[in-house]
Amino acid sequence: MPGDGIGPEVADAGVAVMQRIADSFGHRFRFSNQLIGGAAIDTRGDPLPPDTIASCRESDAVLLGAVGGPKWSDPNAQIRPEQGLLKIRAELGVFANLRPVRVIDELAAASPLKAELLKNVDLMVVRELTGGIYFGEKKRTPDFASDLCVYQTFEVERIVRVAARLAVARSGKLCSVDKANVLETSRLWRDVTIRTMANEFPNVALEHMLVDAAAMHLLARPRDFDVIVTENMFGDILTDEASMLAGSLGMLPSASLGDSKRGLYEPIHGSAPDIAGRGIANPCGTIASTALLLRHSLGLEEEAALIEKALLDVIAAGARTADIARGNDTVLTTSEMTNAILAQLE
């Protein structure tokens, strides 16, 4: 699903990398292009047409570019591109959004933070994706508005289990972020997290942190975090903040997973309409998302690792798109960066 803005440009880069992997390893990937977001509204009057949903359900994995743009940006409109994004997450039951944030040494200068704060930063944010305020009942009158934030025990249990398993495979540390000093949903979140971890993951070190403190510490001491688990809106905000550690939104991938192997994979950036069509978007987040796709949905670990290594190698060799370039760096276009990664894969 290429979507809107720079979505088609970066999605093409992801498909090109997957095709190169297929050619090298003797795989055969079958792709089906489908509409979502503004592009779907313009042609079908629906941000997520039924045939898009059907194709996603029939597929082993879903790769998404981005949705939205100024053409459809009226927040009072009855039909908006973002509705398609929320709906496909719910339709596929992908409740766990994994957003790895790893600072590449060569890109430390692209971050607004001091380089000494960024050394060895390698964290994973696990965001609950199908509950909370984004999905709660919404009401609006001329002088009143409300958005209901709802969580149930089973929703917290299942996302905490995903995060805890990741923590076990990493450093054995899990930080749960909430706002339990104010919100009832957060108090439920904290109680369920404590109980689940004590019963099922007693050897994982559990820390609780209020979301405002987490936002501060992500910038002041990012190296102290390993796996973070949090609810939908908090995760949305914190991961955009954490992207600045890596230097650019354009660098970071994501995987949205549920109870089956099928997942939804996308870069964490938006549709960037200001640069759409100019050929300067950073494809690295999408290409890294294809590595997550191969790993989590198709079980192709070696191929996934090769994509990630190729991406790191070209960055180490000096390849830069405009968003991560500094000083006298040579700036590559979207296609040039993609071709550099394809050549490194060879």
Break the chain into its structural domains and give their ranges.
Answer: 1-102+254-346, 112-246
**Over residues 170-193, mean pLDDT:** 98
138-141 vs 205-210, strand pairing mode: unpaired
Residue 289 near residue 266, CB atoms below 8 Å: yes
Pick 1-102+254-346's CATH classification: 3.90.650.10, 3.40.50.620, 3.40.718.10, 3.90.1310.10: 3.40.718.10
Distance CA 55, CA 35 (A): 10
Q: How confident is the model at residue 89 (pLDDT cuts 50, 70, 90)?
A: very high
Q: Decide if domain 112-246 falls under CATH 3.40.718.10.
A: yes
Phi, psi of 79 (to 5 degrees): -120, 125
Rounded Cα–Cα distance for residues 148 and 207 (Å): 27
pLDDT surpasses 90 at 73: no
Dmax (CA) of the chain: 61
pLDDT at 327 over 90: no
Residue 195 structure tokens: 């109980």
Pairing of strands 173-178, 227-230: parallel
Catalytic site residue 138? no
Residue environment code for 139-151, b if the CB has 16+ CB neighbours within 10 A, otherwise e:
eeeeeeeeeebeb
Cα–Cα distance for residue pair 157/95, rounded to 1 Å: 11
Tell me the average pLDDT across 35-49: 97
* C-alpha span between 201 and 342 (Å, rounded): 41
| CA–CA distance, 245 with 104 (Å, rounded to integer) | 10
Q: Find the catalytic residue in 4, 236, 265, 323.
A: 236
The domains spanning 1-102+254-346 and 112-246 adopt the same CATH topology? yes
| Among 212, 224, 259, 274, the one annotated catalytic | 212
Mean pLDDT of the region 225-242: 95
Give the pLDDT band (50/70/90) at residue 235.
Answer: very high
d(C-alpha 18, C-alpha 20), whole Å: 5
Contact 255, 222 (CB under 8 A): no
pLDDT band at 83 (very low <50, low <70, confident <90, very high): very high
Q: Please answer whether residues 221 and 78 qualify as being in contact, where contact means their C-beta atoms are separated by less than 8 angstroms.
A: no
pLDDT value of residue 75:
79
* Nearest-angstrom CA–CA distance, 325 and 317: 13
E-assigned strand segments in the chain: 61-63, 96-102, 122-128, 138-141, 144-147, 173-178, 205-210, 227-230, 253-257, 263-267
Look up the pTM and report it: 0.92
Question: 259 and 117 in contact (C-beta within 8 Å)?
Answer: no
Determine which one of 12, 122, 240, 329 is catalytic: 240
Catalytic pick from 4, 151, 178, 179?
179
151 is catalytic: no
Q: Active site includes 179?
A: yes
Provide the strand spans (E) within 136-252.
138-141, 144-147, 173-178, 205-210, 227-230
User: Stretch 157-184: mean pLDDT, rounded?
Assistant: 97
Which residue of the set 4, 134, 151, 178 is catalytic? 134
